[in-house]
Amino acid sequence: MSQPLTLRRLTRNVGTEAGLLLIGIPILLWTLIPIYHMFLFAISPKDAAFSGQLWPAHPTLRNFGIVFNQEHHFLYHFWLQMWNSIAIAVATAVLTLMVATMAAFAISRLRMKGGRLVMNLALFTYFIPAAFLAVPMYKTMGMYGLLNNDLALILAMVTIASPYAIWILRQASDKLPVELDEAALIDGASPWQLFRMVYIPLMVPSLIAVGTYALLLAWNEYLYAFLLLSKETTLTLPVALGNFLSADDSPWELLMTAGFIYALPPAAIYYAFRRYMSSGLTAGAVKG
C-alpha cells in the first residue's frame, strides 16, 4: 500500500513473521524427525547408524543393495512379499471400486427400495472399530479355509474399505442431475448402459479418490495382514518387517531401509492424487 513503512509496522511485520516461524519450525521437526531418522539409518553403514550424527560420515547405498538382492535371512522373500503387497493393494482397490460404485449407483441413481437401509448398514460397518472385527474375521476366514491365502486379506480389506467408499460415492452421485438418467432412459438405455456410459464417466474424479483410498488402506494395513497371513511366502512386507522384532539381533539398518522403500509408493501416490483426495475424501467428513 501507499502508506510508508513506518518503524512500528516493520517491527510488527517482523514480529508476525517470527511468530509464524516459531510455529512452523516445530511443526516441520515434529513431522519429519521420525521419517528422517529412518532415512538416516537406511544410508548409514551398519556400525555408524548408532552414532547419533545428523548426517553419516560415509553415506552408503549398501543397505539398499542388501535389501534388493535379498542378502539377509530376514529378507529372503523381499521381492515376493513386495509383490504380495502390490497384488493385494491393487486387487483391493479394483474390487472395492466395483462393489462400491455399483452399490452407490443402485442407492443413489436407481433409488432402489431399501437403499437407505443398505447405506445405514454400510455406515454402521464403517464405524465399527477395525480391531473389533479383526478377531471374528480371523475365525471366519479360518472356517472358509482362506487363512494364509492372499484372497483372505483382499476380501477383508474390501469389507473394510467399501462402506466409506459407498458413502463418498453416494454423496458425489447425489449431486449429478436427475434429468441425465431420465434422458438416457427415455432414449432406451438400460440401467446397465446408463451405468457404463453415463454414470462412470461422470464419476471419474470421485472414483480416483476412492480407488486411491482403498489402495493406500490395503498397502498400509498391518493388523489384518498379520492375523490372516503367516506363511513366509504369503506375507505382505509390513508383516515381514514386524517379524524383525521377534529377534534380538535384528538388523535395524536393513529394517529401516526396507521400511523406507515401502513408504515411498504410498507417499508418491498420495501426492500424485492429492487434488482428488482432498476434495473427494474430506468432503465426506466435513459434512455434518
Q: How many residues bind other proteins (CB under 8 A)?
A: 94
Site membership for other proteins, residue 162 (CB under 8 A):
yes
Long-range contacts of 244-247 (CB under 8 A, 24+ apart): 244/74, 247/74
Residue that is written with C-alpha cell 482432498 in the block: 278
> Toward other proteins, which CB reaches closer, 73 or 287?
287
> Toward other proteins, which CB reaches closer, 128 or 197?
128
Q: Which three cell numbers stand for residue 218?
A: 490395503
Q: Which of 145, 177, 188, 288 binds other proteins (CB under 8 A)?
A: 288
Site membership for other proteins, residue 7 (CB under 8 A):
no
Residue 80: closest CA among 228, 231, 264, 221: 231
From the CB of 127, what's the least distance to other proteins, in Å?
A: 4
> Toward other proteins, which CB reaches closer, 61 or 98?
98
Of 48-77, binders to other proteins (CB under 8 A) are: 50, 52
Give the separation between CA 210 and CA 163, rounded to whole angstroms: 11
Residues contacting residue 91 through CB under 8 Å, at least 6 positions apart = 150, 154
Of 71-130, binders to other proteins (CB under 8 A) are: 98-100, 102-103, 105-107, 110-113, 115, 118-125, 127-130
From the CB of 69, what's the least distance to other proteins, in Å?
A: 20
Residue 165 near residue 213, CB atoms below 8 Å: yes
From the CB of 265, what's the least distance to other proteins, in Å?
A: 10
Q: Is 6 helix (H, G, I), strand (E, B) or coil?
A: coil
Site membership for other proteins, residue 184 (CB under 8 A):
no
Give the separation between CA 186 and CA 232, rounded to whole angstroms: 56
Q: Which three cell numbers stand for residue 25?
A: 519450525
From the CB of 52, what's the least distance to other proteins, in Å?
A: 4
Of 187-246, binders to other proteins (CB under 8 A) are: 190-192, 195, 216, 219-220, 222-223, 227, 238, 241-242, 244-245
Q: Which of 12, 139, 231, 275 binds other proteins (CB under 8 A)?
A: 139
Residue 192: closest CA among 184, 204, 180, 202: 184
> Toward other proteins, which CB reaches closer, 93 or 155?
155
Residue 270 near residue 216, CB atoms below 8 Å: yes
From the CB of 37, what's the least distance to other proteins, in Å?
A: 5
Q: How far is CA 183 from the centre of its chain?
A: 38
From the CB of 23, what's the least distance to other proteins, in Å?
A: 5
Of 254-283, binders to other proteins (CB under 8 A) are: 255-256, 258-260, 262-263, 266-267, 270-271, 274, 278, 282
Residue 184 near residue 193, CB atoms below 8 Å: yes
